A = this chain, B = another copy of it.
Amino acid sequence: MIYTMVMMMKHWLTTPIFDKLVAHHNKKPISFHVPGHKNGSFFAKKGASFFNEILKLDVTELTGLDDLHSPEGVILESEKLLAELYGAKRSFLLVNGSTVGNLAMIMAAIDEEDTVLVQRNCHKSILHALQLANANPVFLNPEYERQWGVAGGLSVEIVETALKKYPNAKALIVTYPNYYGIVFELERIIDLAHKHGIPVLVDEAHGAHFIAGGIFPDSAVSLGADVVVQSAHKTLPAMTMGSFLHFNSELVCLKQIEAYLHIFQSSSPSYPIMASLDLARSYIASFDEQDIDYLFKQISGFKDNLSKIPGIHVLAYPNGRGDLLKITIQAKGLSGFELQKKLEERGVYAELADPNNLLFITPLLKKGMDYPFHQLTAHLSAIMKTELIGKAGGYKRKELCFQPPAISGLTFGFKEMKNLKRRKIPIEDAVGKIAAEMIVPYPPGIPLLFPGEIISHDHIEQLQALILTGAKFQGSNDILKGYIYIY
C-alpha cells in the first residue's frame, strides 16, 4: 500500500491540558470552589464507582489551568498542537459538539439576508445557524446513491451551476463525508468556490480521523477548506461533545469565529472533555504506518467475513473511495430497523438504521489491539440463518428516492416566518402547503423538510414510508401521530 501520511512530530503526542490537570490533582488540592462535588469528595453514593476518578479532573479555571474562552496557557498549547497536526492556521477545542462549531463558523461567515449555498443533506445545526443569521439559503441537491438508497455528496456540476446562478453567494456549506462515509470531489469544489471568492465551510463531523493517512479520504483541511468542524468524539477516542474547529481562511474573519464560540459555549467548559480532546489528538498523532496497515487488515478481514454471510450484502463505496471505519450492510428480507433490533437483542449496537441499511462504525485500532468483530459476524450469521430458513418475502429494498429541485430556496425567509401563524394538519392534507417545522428523521438527523419549503407529494410519500419502517423524528411526536405543522 502507498500512504500519503502526515509526517508525525513527537511533540504532537504531548498532552498539556491532561498533564496539568493530573499535576493539579497530585498536589492533593483542597477545593473551596465550584463544582459542588469538590474534586469528587461529594457525590451521590450509587454513582461513585463510575464518576469518582473523572471528578478528580472536573475542575474549573484555577490558576495554571487556563481559560478556554481566552486561552494563553495549556489550552492554547493544546490548540496549537492540534493546528500543527491538521495543518490549520488556528484550531479550537469545542466542548458543545460540532453543533457549536457549525453555528459559529456560519454566523461568522455571513450576515443577515446573505445568500448561502448549502448542501441539502446537512445537519440540523447548519439550518439552525442559517435561521439565527436570517440568511437566504439556497439548497443544492446531493447525488442520490441508488444502491444505498441514501443521499451522497455534491457533484462538481451542481456547484458550478449554483455559483453561476448566485454569484453573490457569501459561502458554500458542505457536509463531508456523509453519515455513511461517502465522499465526493471536494477539492475541485473548493477550487471552484475560491475562484469565485467564496469561502467553503465544511461540516466534517465524521472525518476527524482522516488526518491519519492515505487509506482514509483526504481531510477537508488539507483540501483547502476555509473552516472545518469535526466531531472528535465520533471517531477518535474522545468524550462525547468534544469537537474540533480548524480555521485556514483568507475570506472568513477569525475574530468573529472566536466571538461566536464564546457566545455559544458554556462559560464553565468541561475540563474532562477538553482533556479527552488533548488525549485524542495525541492518540491520532501516534498512528504510524504499521498501525494503519494493521487497521486496514483488521477491517478488511471483518468486511470479508461479513460478505460471506448468506443474505448479507456489504455495500461498496461509489468510486471505491470512502471512510474505512464505516461499514454499511443490507440484509435479505430485513429492513435496517428490523436487523438493528435483532442485533440489539443480542447485545450488539449499531450506529444507524434506515429502511434499507444498517451502519456500523468500527474503532480506530492500533497495532496489536483487538475488537470482538467475530461476535458481530457470529450474531449476524445466526440471525440470517433463522431469517432465511423457509422464508421468502420479508422486507423488500425500497427506493425512497425523492427528487427535490436540483437548486431551490425557501418560499419564505426566516424573518417572515417569525410573523406567520402555525397550525397542525393531517399529513395527507399537507401537499402544496408551506412547512412550518423542520422534519428530521433520526438518526441521522438530516432534515427532510425545512420550514418555509412547499410540501410536495414526494415528501408525504417518503414521510409515510419512514413512519411505516419505524423511523423516529427528532423534536416531533406529531409526525408519528400523522400530523404536520404548516403556515
Q: Residues of A with Cβ closer than 8 Å to B?
A: 15, 18, 22, 27-38, 41-44, 46-47, 49-63, 67, 69-70, 72, 95-100, 103, 111, 123-125, 128, 131-132, 209, 231-241, 258, 262-273, 275-276, 279-280, 282-283, 341, 344, 347-352, 360-365, 369, 371-372, 375-376, 418, 442-443, 445, 472-477
Contact = CB atoms under 8 A, between A and B. Distances in A.
A97 B371 CA distance: 35
Contact of A240 (B35, B47, B364, B476): B35
A273 B270 CA distance: 10
B263 A241 contact: no
Copies assembled: 2
Contacts of A38: 363, 371
A266 B351 contact: no
Contact of A265 (B63, B96, B268, B477): B96
A206 B349 CA distance: 39
16 contacts: A32-B351, A34-B231, A34-B233, A34-B361, A35-B237, A36-B236, A37-B237, A42-B369, A54-B239, A61-B443, A99-B267, A131-B263, A132-B263, A239-B272, A240-B272, A241-B270
Given A237-B36, A275-B47, A477 B371 contact: no
Given A69-B475, A475-B69, A47 B32 contact: no
Q: Which of A36, A262, A364 has the most CB of B within 10 A?
A: A36
Given A62-B344, A123-B267, A240-B268, 8 more contacts: A29-B348, A33-B351, A33-B352, A44-B280, A50-B57, A70-B473, A99-B267, A234-B268
A279 B43 contact: yes
A91 B349 CA distance: 30
Contacts of A233: 34-36, 268
A44 B240 contact: no
Contacts of A269: 97, 240-241
Contacts of A58: 239-240
